[in-house]
Structure 1
Amino acid sequence: MSDRWTSPGSPQPEDEPQQQGSAEQPRLDKTPPQGWSENPPPPAGWSGPGAPGGPGAPPPQQGWSGPGWGAPGWGPPAAPKPGVIPLRPLGVGEILDGAVSTARAHWRPVLAISLAISVVVQVVTLPAMRAFLGEESDFAALTERTEPTDEELRAAFGDLFAFTSITGVVTILGVVLATAMLTMVVSRAVLGRGVTVGEAWAESRGQVLRLLGLVVLLPLIGAVAVAVPLLLAALTGFAPLVVLVGLGAVALMLWLMVQFSLAAPALMLERQGVFHAMRRSWKLVAGSWWRIFGIQLLAFILLLFVSGMIELPIDVVARLVSGDEGDFLTGSLELSWTYLAITGVGGVLSSTVTLPISAGVTALLYMDQRIRREALDLELARAAGADGPATPGGAAGPAAPQG
């Protein structure tokens, strides 16, 4: 199989790719259409020199026909847009708009996938929050100490580290899993075709085990990138060196995560192994790291704002209902199950809204990089037009998007 992705259901590429020349300048045919005179009649009530309708009628002024019609300034035609994006290199706004349009046009499969993943993430996160940050935790006890001992500090930060590790890993796995599954929806949406949850699962289930390997390997790479330099620096016992190495390790982890950020869509769409997908992501990101990082950072900030708009009001309601409104003002960490249940609902709603957009941005970044480097737009245009109504042979048109 070629490493060039062809969307599900598209035909094999033809031997000769379609020519992408500049558009031919429009011109007026010298032969007048049937039923039309080459020289337009004069306006009603006006007759030119000579007998009306006779051979002395004046010719049309220059510029009425061809010479002035095809003036410079006629650009190439717009790129075809069979689905949620135009088939050409994309701008930042088009990537964000394409992700939102996919979630809106195909909301049924998108909602089912993102809701299921969001529920699983919250089911793991909320008990971890109560166990490691609740009123009986060492971290909560630290807030009541004016001069904590070294042992209390270690215990408190141990709880904090355990909580952030568990929730961080679960969140990363959820985001990568959502990206991979929703990529199948986006690949159809780009061609203007609908997809059901069953179809998305049928197309992705063959890659599930490889996907599991990828979502386990990526966090491990990030953890090793941070832990190994920190441990080596800690052995020196020189605190400033530990801080500098820690900052450098975090920067290294960020760089690696962006380098491998397109691995999930590459794995799902190209149907290759884990390491092939990682190599593909590395190759596609190379030379465009800052652009991809910037788009992903912008999407993260926008989604963080949307998430806050959903979760903050629900958090206030949860504290009022659970009777913890005083804790909200004092900063106490007494987390009742009532509070956690209500905020869990808010977390599910927030993730259900933001996960599809995040996944859509990643999938469209992958396609955009392939359009820029591998002319994927030619394959997508053929795939989108292969089943169109103008295709010889009378093939059926693309399936209508399923809301």
Structure 2
Amino acid sequence: MNDTPGWAPPGSAPSDGQDGGVPQPAPPADESSPASNWSKEQPPPGQWSAPTAPTAPGANRVPAPPPPPAPGWGGGQPRGSWGRPPAAKPGVIPLRPLGVGEILDGAVSTLRAHWRTVLGITITVSVITEIGNILVDRYLLPDPPEVNPDADPSEALRQSVDSLQSSLIAMGPVLIITLIATLFTTALLTVVISRSVLGRPVTLSEAWHEARPRLPQLLGLTLLLPLISGGIMAVAILPGLLLGDGGGVALSVLAGLAACVVILWLMIRFALASPALMLERQGIVASLRRSAKLVQGAWWRTFGIVALTLLLTLLVSMIIAVPFALIAFAVDGSGIGDLFAGTTPDFGWPFLIITGVGSVIASSITYPISAGVTVLLYIDQRIRREALDIELARAAGVPGYGSEPGQAPSRS
């Protein structure tokens, strides 16, 4: 009995306790089949040869040519490994274990196949996010403290503490807006990508209808992960901060580095929690356990794919954002003078609007890639561990895999 949660894309019921649909061996031939007419007494292996045509006495006998290879074994026809037919591909990925390039290609293919829905989601969320950031920056955040370059050491330390406090205050609203944006894009894009794997179309309204019931749980998960990271870091550096002397500072630094390693290990271990929560309709704690189970034994592979995705999205963001930043500097020259003078630059509306447009474009492209890699990596791990490809092929209506969950694939 399969006790693992089944594939539950939005709009379908979970398959807990269902038969995995693994193909069964063909039944033995009955007595009326051709194989039952062979004699039970056969020559030893290796001594049987095909019969030859009768020839005149004394003539040389030429052995018959070997029979042609069976279909699927060579012959120049495109086949899978060892003569098996290629994997079914109803959507953006083939239904088999995926390579790194196939995961990235599947994320980009989803953007191409459903570009109206995907860009509708990402552009809307990016525009609202950028407007919120600009308004917060212009009207809600206090002015940064002035820094005196000629201050004595004690005054310089006080200025550094004030600057750090001001930076943390400024990061708060931005982080909240970013978390909300990540919440909506993750929920909606997970629905779109799960449909694209099955080769099914999806509209923005359908994606919202499917994702909306899971938003409270996804919000809890989105808030829980940063809280876990912050708690681990606080526990690590607190003893050193309480000491207060030079030894305490060194202890805080070493403990902070160790905490970073622990946080990285946990974040990769929980990297697949959001698709598990959305697609398997798991709770918050259950999705964290599910992700840990799927990543177990594949931590380094998951880390490599996540790191590569972050690097690619960072490069794409820089390629898009840098030209807009240069244009913004050229249009709003007052901020450049403050920047070179060593004071805090006060950029005007033209600079904020131009850089905001570049940020919206970059986010609209990188959000689908990042979310797509996460969902496809989750699907890949389930294919490798739980033969999810059979259930996906059945859900997509691929011929030969049965039409209902629990029905074994047909064999020809």
The 3 A distance-change label for structure 1 pair 131 and 293 is farther
Q: Give 5+ residue unaligned stretches, structure 1.
A: 22-58, 394-403
The 3 A distance-change label for structure 1 pair 16 and 179 is closer
Assess if the C-alpha contact under 8 Å between 1:6 and 1:383 holds in 2: no
Q: What pairs with 1:2-401 in structure 2 (closer than 5 Å)?
A: 3-8=5-10, 15=19, 17-19=21-23, 62=65, 66=68, 74-129=82-137, 136-138=143-145, 141-142=146-147, 145-147=149-151, 149-237=156-244, 238-323=248-333, 324-327=335-338, 333-385=345-397
Whole-Å separation in 2 of the counterparts to 1:283 and 1:62 = 55
Assess if the C-alpha contact under 8 Å between 1:131 and 1:137 holds in 2: no
Give the RMSD, CA atoms, in angstroms: 3.2
Whole-Å separation in 2 of the counterparts to 1:383 and 1:249 = 43
Identity of aligned residues (%): 47
One-letter amino acid of the counterpart of residue 332, structure 2: S
Displacement after TM superposition at 1:369 (Å): 1.0
Displacement after TM superposition at 1:129 (Å): 4.5
Task: Write the deviation string for residues 138-166 of structure 1: whole angstroms up to 9, x where unpaired.
Answer: 1xx22x52435322111111122223444
More displaced, 275-284 or 292-301?
Answer: 275-284
Assess if the C-alpha contact under 8 Å between 1:6 and 1:380 holds in 2: no
Partner SS, residue 149 of structure 1? helix
Assess if the C-alpha contact under 8 Å between 2:191 and 2:211 holds in 1: yes
1:45 maps to: none
Task: Write the deviation string for residues 87-127 of structure 1: whole angstroms up to 9, x where unpaired.
Answer: 11111000000000001100111111112221233233334
Partner SS, residue 107 of structure 2? helix
TM-score (ref. length: structure 1): 0.78
One-letter amino acid of the counterpart of residue 386, structure 2: E
Whole-Å separation in 2 of the counterparts to 1:339 and 1:208 = 35
The 3 A distance-change label for structure 1 pair 347 and 363 is same
TM-score (ref. length: structure 2): 0.76
The 3 A distance-change label for structure 1 pair 16 and 365 is closer
Whole-Å separation in 1 of the counterparts to 2:13 and 2:217 = 26
Task: Write the deviation string for residues 254-306 of structure 1: whole angstroms up to 9, x where unpaired.
Answer: 22221222111111111121111111112111221111111010011011011
Whole-Å separation in 1 of the counterparts to 2:280 and 2:99 = 24
2:42 maps to: none
Whole-Å separation in 2 of the counterparts to 1:370 and 1:68 = 33
Whole-Å separation in 2 of the counterparts to 1:267 and 1:254 = 21
Whole-Å separation in 2 of the counterparts to 1:62 and 1:355 = 61
Whole-Å separation in 2 of the counterparts to 1:121 and 1:20 = 53
